[in-house]
Amino acid sequence: MTLLYTDARFLLHETGDHPECAERLHHITSHLETTPLMDRCEQPQWEMISDQVLLRVHQRELAFRLQGLAEQGGGQADPDTVVSPRSPEIAKLAAGAVCNATQQVLDGNARSALCLVRPPGHHALPDRAMGFCLLNNIALAAQSALDRGVNRLLVVDWDVHHGNGTQACFYEDPRVGFFSAHRWPFYPGTGSVEETGSSDGLGTTCNLPMEFGTSRANYRQSFQRNLEDFAARINPELVLISAGFDSHRLDPVGSLGLEIEDFSWLTSTVTQIADTYAQGRIVSALEGGYNPPILAACVAAHLESLLINGSEAKDWDI
């Protein structure tokens, strides 16, 4: 079974004409409602994360700063990152969804989960919101899994931007393997092949920088080869995906020339890793993707591949 996390409250993180806007989720849910996919998922209820959980990853000063901006009527957490009056609450709701999904999958109540949340999270550092991200949803979910006794987990980040926040959270932690395939050179400027972890975490970070103009075939070949080798070293009990769709060729913010079918393939490749090492346990959280109609189609392809557990067969037309 696959769990699907959606909530109209995510639209209340109001960002105006910012690329990371409510229209993104509106297009996704509207498109999914035209397909049989939502009916094939269970849609659970959940709560926002507590401050206690938040502080397992983030510093208290970040929470104070976000709340202060909200109470002033909103503002900028950094030049790229908008805070509106309800943004801290909605960010906690988003993180709560990914943490709840992780708990449900670890408890055996579902094999996989997709969390259609905003704001995204993978750029958020322990002490800083940045890159459209307020709280690091995937890092909070990973920490919740570690706190429950998971000894090894793998985060796969295929957003066009390097997941610098997630990498920073676990750079010295040998229990978390972080794999990122991203455009290079590009924002946020991190993610070189030389960044492989440090201290006890040396060797548990794998960055796969891709130059603009890399062919789709070369992207796939490099992604699969490097991920399979890395996963064999990590031997994860759980797989988390930072699912960004801004590497689609029509994305106005990123683009690595990918097509919708490439996200089906990426999903299938990662679910095969989960099947091999983690009893199929996989949780995916939405990150980037800023062409709303294209984003919606990519998410549908991603969800279908989760539902069919990595099979490349298609039973409907997206």
pLDDT of residue 302: 98
How many percent of the chain have pLDDT more than 90?
A: 97
- Confidence band, pLDDT 50/70/90 cuts, at residue 308: confident
123 is a catalytic site residue: yes
| Averaged pLDDT of the chain | 97
On the question of pLDDT at 116 being above 50, the answer is: yes
Q: What is the per-residue pLDDT for 317? A: 42
pLDDT exceeds cutoff 80 at 236: yes
pLDDT > 70? residue 281: yes
pLDDT digits (tens, 9 = 90+) for 188-213: 999 999 999 999 999 999 999 999 99
Residues in the chain: 318
What whole-number distance in Å separates Cα of residue 200 and Cα of residue 167?
Answer: 14
Mean pLDDT, residues 124-128 taken together: 99
Residue 204: what pLDDT?
99
Domain ranges of the chain: 2-307
Q: Which of 13, 27, 122, 123 is catalytic?
A: 123
Q: What is the DSSP letter of 48?
A: P
**Which pLDDT band holds residue 310 (cuts at 50, 70, 90)?**
very low
Q: Which CATH superfamily is domain 2-307 in?
A: Histone deacetylase domain (3.40.800.20)
Q: The sheet that has 153-157: what strands, in order across it?
A: 2-5, 112-115, 282-286, 238-243, 153-157, 176-183, 205-210
Residue 312 has pLDDT above 80, yes or no: no
> How much is the average pLDDT of 227-241?
99
Helix runs in the chain, H state only: 22-32, 51-54, 60-71, 87-106, 137-147, 164-169, 216-234, 260-277, 292-307
Q: What tens digit of pLDDT does each residue of 31-46 get?
A: 999 999 999 999 999 9
316 — pLDDT class (breaks 50, 70, 90): very low
